[in-house]
Amino acid sequence: MLVHTICIFNPAQEVKLTMAARIYNFNPGPAALPLPVLEQVKEEFLDFKGSGMSVSEVSHRSPLFEEVLNDAVARFKRLLKLPDDFKILFLQGGASTQFFMVPMNLLPNGSSADYINTGSWAKKAIKEAEILKKSCNVIASSEDKNYSYIPKGFSIDPSAAYVHFTSNNTIEGTQWASFPETGGVPLVSDMSSDMLCKPFNPAPFGLIYAGAQKNLGPAGVTVVIIRDDMLARVPKDIPTMLRYTTHSEKNSLYNTPPCVAIYIVQLVLKWIEDSVGGLEAMERRNREKADLLYGFMDAADFYRPTAAKDSRSLMNVTFRLADENLEKKFIAEASQSGLGGLKGHRSVGGCRASIYNAIDLKAVQSLVDFMKAFVDTNG
- pLDDT tens digits in sequence order for the chain, 379 residues long: 444 333 333 434 443 434 458 899 999 999 999 999 999 999 999 999 999 999 999 999 999 999 999 999 999 999 999 999 999 999 999 999 999 999 999 999 999 999 999 999 999 999 999 999 999 999 999 999 999 999 999 999 999 999 999 999 999 999 999 999 999 999 999 999 999 999 999 999 999 999 999 999 999 999 999 999 999 999 999 999 999 999 999 999 999 999 999 999 999 999 999 999 999 999 999 999 999 999 999 999 899 999 999 999 999 999 999 999 999 999 999 999 999 999 999 999 999 999 999 999 999 999 999 999 999 999 8
- Name the residue among 73, 96, 66, 101 with its Cα closest to residue 241: 101
- The confidence score (pLDDT) of residue 43 equals 96
- The confidence score (pLDDT) of residue 379 equals 85
Amino acid identity of residue 320, one-letter, is R
Q: What is the pTM of this model?
A: 0.94
- What fold, for 44-276? Aspartate Aminotransferase; domain 2 (3.40.640)
d(CA 143, CA 128): 18
Residue 247: exposure state from Cβ atoms within 10 A (0-12, 13-18, ≥19): buried
- Dihedral sign, CA of 238, 239, 242, 246? positive
d(CA 272, CA 17): 36
Residues 6+ apart with CB under 8 A from 260: 55, 56, 218, 220
Q: Are strands 304-305 and 316-320 parallel, antiparallel or unpaired?
A: antiparallel
d(CA 64, CA 46): 15
d(CA 322, CA 320): 7
H/E stretch holding 175 reads strand 174-175
Rg (CA), the chain: 22
DSSP letters, 14-26, are EEEEEEE-PPEE-
DSSP letters, 184-228, are TPPEEEE-TTTTTSS----TTEEEEEEETTTTTSSTT-EEEEEEH
Q: What's the distance, CA 239 to chain centroid?
A: 27
* 135-141 sheet: strands from edge to edge: 86-91, 222-227, 205-211, 187-190, 163-166, 112-117, 135-141
d(CA 214, CA 191): 10
d(CA 81, CA 125): 27
Question: What Cα–Cα distance (Å) separates residue 86 from each residue in 6, 37, 76, 150, 199?
Answer: 49, 27, 11, 28, 16
**What CATH number labels 3-28+277-378?**
3.90.1150.10
Chain region(s) in the chain for CATH 3.40.640.10:
44-276
Chain region(s) in the chain for CATH 3.90.1150.10:
3-28+277-378
CB 361 within 8 A of CB 285: yes
Residues serving a catalytic function are 121, 190, 214
Cα three-residue angle 124-254-273, rounded to 5 degrees: 70
- The confidence score (pLDDT) of residue 20 equals 53
